[in-house]
A and B are shown apart, each in its own frame.
Chain A
Amino acid sequence: MLEREIVVVGAGPAGLSAAIEAAGAGARVLCIDLNMRPGGQLFKQIHKFFGSSAHRSGTRGIDIGRMMLDEAEDKGVELWLGSTVIGLFPGNKVGVRHGQDGTAGAFVTVHAQKIIVAAGASENVVRFDGWTTPGVMGAGAAQTMVNVNHVKPGRRVVMLGSGNVGLIVSYQLMQAGCEVAALVEAAPKIGGYAVHAAKIARAGVPIYTSHTIKRVVPDESGRVCRVVIVGLDDAFQEIPGTEREIEADTVAIGAGLKPTTELLALLKCDFTFHPVWGRVPLHNRDMETSQEGVYIAGDTTGVEEANTALEEGRIAGISAAAALGYLSEDEAKARKDEIWARLAALRMGPFGEKREQAKQDILSAFDESRGGLAAV
């Protein structure tokens, strides 16, 4: 069995920042990611970030990813790519299907003193008649195809969902040369930022709010060739007679994301159900779960965005390093307090408030589960 001080699962923004912080403090860190290149969602994000200058607004996600990779390398973070963590086991054991250096597929068990899970999120699907037809995919998958692999997913796309993912990916598909035939949203109004929606509207994409996809019609080869959408009433029930056919060969579903938490469930970490985030693991202000020595950060804790993931990753990295004795308690606390303040700032405004409240709820639920002993 291999020994490492800290194993970080996931090399996206949360995982990389956790690894950078912990390694910067002097810990021996191994960061594992199932993709062949690290950076997670950052490498799909060719758009510039919003927010304050402290959070690199105006910088493209892909550039942030490159900077973080350089930094991780400088700090001596060990990276295993193309490697899948298949399980976390009692006694802080990490089971890895190790994919590098000719050992493809070898199963390795790594014993870690501390584990940080930053496994991100997965896309929700919407089930309609024909939802498994080739040509129907997640909006995130479509984004990976155009921005990472430089492949167009199709010629004419219907986007379902008008959150920021649906809006941004629609625009990026157009930039890549796809035609966006329609943007379909079940709610009565657009879910994402108005600035993104305006870009789509200006480009002439028809936007159907209070609509959903009723079914997808395949052609002779079995691929998507027509999409039937239908109007919805206030109770999200279909209104008969409002069906409309759209010619398209691709459907992208941007119906939100859910935290990837299976590894934590395997360890029997305590979970809660929160209306904003769904079923998520409990954690304290150190980002530590109910299992001692197991930390979480980023979308795994509840889906937000890259900046909050980066900051939470830092807290997890600092906490794990401090627990190993690489940082004094005072120093760790001062740095974490600063980050929590920045996180509070990121979670302001009409889109942020809900998330700030959710985060506070999770922290309180953790304390309650510990018999009301608040971690100060």
Chain B
Amino acid sequence: MTTYDVTVIGAGAIGSSVAYHLCEKGFKVALIDKGDIAHGSSSHCDAVALICDKQPGLDTRMGAASIAHYAELAQKFEYDFEFDRKGCLYVCETDAEYEAASAYAARQAADGYEMGMVDNKTLCEMEPYLAKDMVGGIWTPGDAAMSPYKVCFAFTYEAEKLGLTKYTYCNISSVTPVSGGFHLSTDQGELMTGKIVNCGGVWAPDIGALSGLSIPIQPRKGMNLISEKCEKISFHKVLEFGYMMSKFDSINFKRNVSPLVEEYNVAFNIEYTHANNVLLGGYRGFRGFDIRSEVEAMKAIAERGLRFYPVLRDINCIRSYAGVRPFIEDHLPIVSEVDTLPGYFIAAGHEGDGICLSPITGKLMAQLVAGEETDFDISGLDFARFAAQKASA
């Protein structure tokens, strides 16, 4: 039987990063996935690392630390994951949005993050194809874009140099706590492991169930349109400020949008890729694990895209795709050990921030597994918060 120090389950943006950071610390690591590397959400998403879409506080701190870490890794790694610090513009359609955005940016700036407001004129200069009637926007120069699946490939490629063992297309049938760790039965053989890190994303609850854990993650669907190759029409990551609204239901702006856009909870965001296609988003909805494209959602995304980039009228859409994000009600991931099951860790539930938070999550989780102090306090990401909720309910 093969024995490992740590077994990471799930080879998406989170699992591949956790595996890399553990290898870096000298652990003997196995990485298991029921599919291939980046087979799930990490190849069915768009890819940005932003701080300007984070809630002030821990959320933003994680984002900023992750982007900084991304920049280091991009320098260090042999494998190119198309890291591009192109900056992010959050555009405001109305004065009310601009006011709220200004308050948000001021709060983030006060916390020491590089974030400020730009007016209509500056916006038009920065993004010449953007509709000319925007009030202004939030400009965050440090925000970045990358290729999401290449991030996973980069982490596993570099981790393999450090001794990582990959088990792809490997199904786990049981997880049994034994003295000194866990026994895993898989369709590729029996494994002994000292520790387990569950990085299953939307599938983390299934993996947790093998150990009797109830992990409150739900699949939340997202969808994007892809254009034909075209000239560069967007020079930064650009989103509408209303995106905040769809992400955090608590922020309640009434947008002036059609019933279709309203119904499908569509918020505009655009990304011009290294392959010269435009990615246009986005939509969030609960449809279980069904990632089939929905024609009304496609129309709504296109309609909202045209509002912000009228030039899209002359560019063909060639495809749409959808994926599922690991949604947690309080919009914070789980990055912690399970107090009731020592040696069992969870790093999952990043919803739409898995790519963004991949490096920092891997780094922090490796520190937790090694029993070291984490770079900063992440007790807010503790799995025990759900047990506490249940107890008080």
CB distance from A34 to the nearest CB of B (A): 15
**Could you mark each residue 246-280 of chain A with 1 if its beta carbon is under 8 Å from any beta carbon of chain B, else 0?**
00000000000000000000111000000000000
| Contacting residues of chain A (84-121) with chain B, CB-CB under 8 angstroms | 87, 89-90, 93, 95, 107, 109
Q: Which of the residues B292, B296, B298, B320 comes within 8 Å of A267, measured between beta carbons?
A: B292
State A268–B293 Cα separation when bound (angstroms): 10
A93 neighbours in B (Cβ, 8 Å): 295
Q: Which of the residues B290, B292, B295 comes within 8 Å of A95, measured between beta carbons?
A: B295
CB distance from A189 to the nearest CB of B (A): 39
B320 neighbours in A (Cβ, 8 Å): 87
The range of chain A's interface size is 10 to 19
| B294 on interface, CB distance cutoff 8 Å | yes
Nearest residue in B to A107 (C-beta to C-beta)? B299
**Could you mark each residue 269-302 of chain B with 1 if its beta carbon is under 8 Å from any beta carbon of chain A, else 0?**
0000000000000000000001011111011000
State A109–B292 Cα separation when bound (angstroms): 16
State A281–B293 Cα separation when bound (angstroms): 19
Nearest residue in B to A95 (C-beta to C-beta)? B295
A109 touches B293 (CB 8 A): no
CB distance from B222 to the nearest CB of A (A): 16
| Contacting residues of chain B (138-168) with chain A, CB-CB under 8 angstroms | none
B292 touches A268 (CB 8 A): yes
| Contacting residues of chain A (61-75) with chain B, CB-CB under 8 angstroms | none
Task: Output the residue of B290, B292, B299 with the most chain A CB within 10 A.
Answer: B292
A90 neighbours in B (Cβ, 8 Å): 290, 292, 294
State A89–B292 Cα separation when bound (angstroms): 7
B299 neighbours in A (Cβ, 8 Å): 107
B295 neighbours in A (Cβ, 8 Å): 87, 89, 93, 95, 109
Nearest residue in A to B287 (C-beta to C-beta)? A90
| Contacting residues of chain A (257-307) with chain B, CB-CB under 8 angstroms | 266-268
B293 neighbours in A (Cβ, 8 Å): 87, 89, 266
What 7 new A-B contacts, CB under 8 Å, besides A90-B290, A268-B292?
A87-B320, A89-B293, A89-B295, A90-B292, A90-B294, A109-B296, A267-B292
| B residues apposed to A, CB below 8 Å | 290, 292-296, 298-299, 320
The 8 closest A-B pairs by CB, nearest first: A89-B295, A95-B295, A90-B292, A93-B295, A109-B295, A268-B292, A89-B294, A89-B293
Give 20 pairs: A residue, B residue, CB < 8 Å, sorted on A: A87-B293, A87-B295, A87-B320, A89-B292, A89-B293, A89-B294, A89-B295, A90-B290, A90-B292, A90-B294, A95-B295, A95-B298, A107-B299, A109-B295, A109-B296, A266-B292, A266-B293, A267-B292, A268-B290, A268-B292
